[in-house]
Structure 1
Amino acid sequence: MYNLFKEDFLVTGEKADALRQKMWGKKVFYVNNLHINYTDICVSKCRFCAFAKDEGDESAVFMDVDDIIKYVAAKAPNASELHIVGGLHPSKKFSYYTDMVRGLKTAFPEKTIKAFSAVEIDYFASISGLSVSDALSALKKAGLEMMPGGGAEIFEPRVRKEICPEKIPAEKWLEVHETAHKEGILTNATMLYGHIETGEDKMRHLEKIRELQEKTGGFLAFIPLSFHPQNTFLSHIKPATGMDDLMTVAVSRLVLDNVPHIKAYWVMLGEKTAQAALRFGADDLDGTIIKENITHAAGAKSSAGLTEDELKNMITSAGLEPVKRNAFYGTIN
């Protein structure tokens, strides 16, 4: 395995930018979306997480289905995509999640429901006694149309044992996404970097995503996630530098030339680094988001949300063309 992370920074960036231009020209995509973190109550105790709380904690958050519907109506009536992830709640039945999706799709039929990480899907299967395939089928029937890519972290077992020993292994994450693709559910993929991983660990992670994409073609976008250590058990770790961020975006674009889109996730990168990443291989700024809780619990300094005008300005001032999209990268005029 050749380690691209050892290559020259600017040369790698130029190659990634050239590939982005070949694939998308001057187009940079964004979406009017809303992130919904329906609960921070979680049975998993990942060392890198500052979001999770125990059931019974006075500051814990839980939203029932009616709460979520009211939240969407109040916060983002015009959003085209609902991005839904949360903790692994110890006492909610699988019916809560199917009711959530069904309720949202009934209330907002025009909005795409992009919900639940592979970790959540595996948990739903375990609490319901269903297979992953049957759990996904039930959610799809309720209105699930797409899955985000969270929970991948870093696939290297040595690293997972240190930062998230209770989380599903890499093989299970890949299996859930492969199953989703077979069910006709497109997904995203992620990689959490900037903690205790090596360049070789990141390369192996990217290669596994590439291999599954060759097999299924079911990944729409890849999102490199820059780790935020504040308020976590890994708070002693220095966060990734701007050069680390841009190099990871660039290498991701070059390795994953079979995945259509690379996101510069401004929530974790910060707005300025995300804008620079548009010249290092990224072609998507994600979206308005409105309110994101998980990364901000770990000390993110980026805005809670951005307006469409702010996103468009980030793109045009980089000399590129903003394209408003839906969840499946169809253009919205």
Structure 2
Amino acid sequence: MKNTIKRLLLTLGILAPGALMAQDATISTDTAIYFMAGFVLVVAVLVLVVAVIVLQVLKTIVRQEDEKKAAVQGIELPEPVSFWSRFMRKASDAVPIEEEETVLLDHNYDGIQELDNHLPPWWKWLFYMTIAFGVVYLFVYHVTDTLPLQQEEYDNQIAEAEALKAMRLKDSPKLAIDESTVQYVEDAAALASGKQVYDNNCSQCHRSDGGGSIGPNLTDEYWLHGGSIQDIFTTIKVGVPAKGMISWEPLLSPEQMQNVASYVMSMVGTNPPNPKAPQGEVYRAGEPTEEALPDSVQTVAIR
């Protein structure tokens, strides 16, 4: 057993430096520290295991010698109390059954008597630890303000997320497209991309030619929620749940919503066969758009 452990320790001692040297030259200092800390922890555990095994072997040898001496003297040794039994007795501070009369109270409830046992030490120490933790918590969070409270921590995380969002929007302007910056695009590639999005997601309700089915006709001058690029983009983004149109913001990028809104505008005047009857108000470019829905209800899709 000892030889096996020695070989294992020797192998770990040889492999650990080699593993560190075999890492990429750019290995971080933290990684090396963690690796060495893990190695030291493994060695410490192995040493502890060896110590426990050696102690058990020594106890066995001592027990055998005592049994031999007792046999010569004609004395029978009592069974040794296990470590677990000793631990449980100390942890519970329970009085042995044969000694319960010493803690028996005079209370008698229909033949049921009460013992004056102490609270288990583990429970008392756990209670003391909660008190100590409460004092430390109060001092750290409310007296010295060393660590932030939940609201402050939440605010810090929101600020970090906003800063990260701003950095991403700066690096990729297309992600910054919203109702105030959206523009009608005439680029053929952008319109083709918008048509693909329309065919995959919108044609089921508005027909592939935009003539309208469950949803309204998209090829005439009548619009339920405004016909400007901003209105159409907003309708696509927030949807119209009251009429079954979901918000597409979680599924489409800002650029995709701009492309499909532009494609929808390009369908006006195409006059498909058997179009759905006009719905809403006439929209003409340059004219002010009337609010078709109150602010509290603006959550739906095209038209």
* Higher Rg: 2
More strand by share: 1
Higher RCO (C-alpha 8 Å, min separation 6): 1
Q: Which has the higher helix share?
A: 2
- TM-score (norm: length of structure 2): 0.19
